[in-house]
Structure 1
Amino acid sequence: MTTVARDTGVGQLLRGWRQQRRISQLELALRADSSARHISFIETGRSRPSEEMVLRLAEHLDVPVRERNALLVVAGYAPRYTETALDDPSMGALREGMERLLQCYDPYPALVLDGMYTVVAANRASSLLMTGVAEHLLTPPPNAMRITLHPEGLAPRIVNLPEWRADLLAQMERQIALVRSPELRALHEEVAAYPPPERGADGRRGYASGPQPAGGGRAAFALPMLVEHEGRVLSFISSIATFNTPMDVTVAELAIETFLPADRETAAYLHSLTS
């Protein structure tokens, strides 16, 4: 349902999301059970979308929860999704569930990150990755991107730092395009400006002057993070999980990142630490 609109600007925002998703007005209309003419009227400000229509279009455009609230406000409606601090008593069950999940991943490192890559929880095994990291990078609230890419962080121990750094920066760029966060963009600019990794004569950082990865270090199915630890190279594959159908902005932006062994030697070594 729509009414004749004053120019609220929500149509321009919805058009921006549609173009970013590379979806035509007709395709969006079919997904949202509407018409291309109706979508065109909304985008040009000739019609004011109902609250239900704003949410329906946002759903089909895969707009992040925080941005859905912004769309509703611009359209003249109240925000639909709450933003509750993680330490709020109402989040007790969520915190306990995440702690149990992190413990289940031991002896493999696992972290819970928010939308700004702040580490909000970690399991015992994650301390292995923090070996040698400067204290100022671990001071609360610690940031996973700073810890990983800072010259005084994990970076000097990452054997394939050029590849891993490029992958992390590309990941941040994709997220910036999705959430349009000035704070996230500032973080990206900061970590991207850290001194580049040292390179050998062949232009790559290799194993020639350091320990060799026990299992070859490479995984055929994904880029591993190769980390030096006490004279050996451990190989990890990163996996990220999020919550389905979140109704809170805080929960929507949480991600559980686990570092699973990419070879048998790494797995055996991690299990040996617990035994």
Structure 2
Amino acid sequence: MAIQNEFGLTLRGIRNALGLSQLALAHRLGSTQRHISFLETGRSRATPEFLQRIAVELNLSTAQRSALFEASGLRNPFPERQLTDTEITQALDTIERRILQNWPFPAFALDKDWTILRANPSATAMFAMFGIDLSQANQSLLTMVLSPGFRTAILNWEEVSPGFYFRLMAAAERDRTVRVAFEAARASGLFDDVPRHITGGSSNPVMSCAEMGLPDGTRLRMTPFIGSLSTLQDVRLERIEIELMVPLDDVTETKLTSMFA
């Protein structure tokens, strides 16, 4: 039996992730199960035409398309750039200037492992109140949120912990760094109240909010709005999340406006 090549292993991994059998994938691509089998076992090599079909017919992420092209040995139209790359820097600068700085409340741009790539002045000012300097490079919002010092500032942790739990679970499926931190948080008992909160006797609210206690005694009620740019076609930027903190009452809005004006 032929030794599986890198492309075959990559194709099989993506096919399994999509929940497709070899036959189902062949039908989607107008090919045959035999051809898919030969590609996965290394008995056949991928052609540019095959890669074109798989990129057009399947709803692959940029990272999946990049992995297939890279493993094929053909020119990769989706290379993974570094954060220091000029085009990456320009894209992040645009996000910061056109989105984050136009939001009057704390806002961030996060990569797939929750590293803060950009933050607006309101976010910097809010975290400074807890002794956290966002001007330092490669700060992890995940580490901050799970740290005892910041988490104890969330006065209703039991109520909002399910939201953090399921958001982290989804991110952990995509990124090893988040997965390690998430598993450590679960092992520490941080999310032990989640099952009881979900199946408790009371109904869950339509919208949960985090109540944060500032060092001066002020209580802020906020919830995150998470979005993304649909036009990002880079492996590193594809899963960037833009997180805007939204005040949920007039007191919070007034306080944030006065603090960060």
TM-score by length of 1: 0.71
Calculate percent identity across the aligned residue pairs: 27
Q: Which amino acid aligns with 1:173?
A: M
Q: How does 1:102-251 map to 2 (within 5 A)?
A: 102-106=100-104, 108-127=105-124, 129-135=126-132, 139-152=136-149, 154-178=150-174, 181-193=175-187, 196=190, 220=206, 222-229=207-214, 230-251=216-237
CA contact (8 A) 1:8 1:75 kept: no
Could you tell me how far apart the structure 2 residues matched to 1:91 and 1:197 are? Answer: 36
Larger deviation: 36-45 or 230-239? Answer: 36-45
CA RMSD of aligned residues (A): 3.6
Could you tell me how far apart the structure 2 residues matched to 1:135 and 1:192 are? Answer: 24
Change (3 A) 1:233 1:8: same
Structure 1 residue 268: deviation in Å? 3.6
Counterpart residue number, 1:259: 245
CA contact (8 A) 2:124 2:134 kept: no
CA contact (8 A) 2:111 2:240 kept: yes
Q: Which amino acid aligns with 1:224?
A: C
Structure 1 residue 103: deviation in Å? 0.8
Counterpart residue number, 2:69: 72
TM-score by length of 2: 0.74
**Structure 1 residues without counterparts, runs of 5 or longer:** 205-217
Could you tell me how far apart the structure 2 residues matched to 1:268 and 1:135 are? Answer: 23
Q: Which amino acid aligns with 1:186?
A: V
Q: How does 1:27-46 map to 2 (within 5 A)?
A: 28-29=25-26, 31-34=28-31, 38-43=35-40, 45-46=42-43
Change (3 A) 1:251 1:197: closer
Number of matched pairs: 250
Structure 1 residue 12: deviation in Å? 3.8
CA-to-aligned-CA distance 1:193-224 (integer Å, 9 cap, x gap): 5563898xxx87xxxxxxxxxxxxx962x433
Provide the secondary structure at the position in 2 that maps to 1:130: helix
Could you tell me how far apart the structure 2 residues matched to 1:198 and 1:49 are? Answer: 48
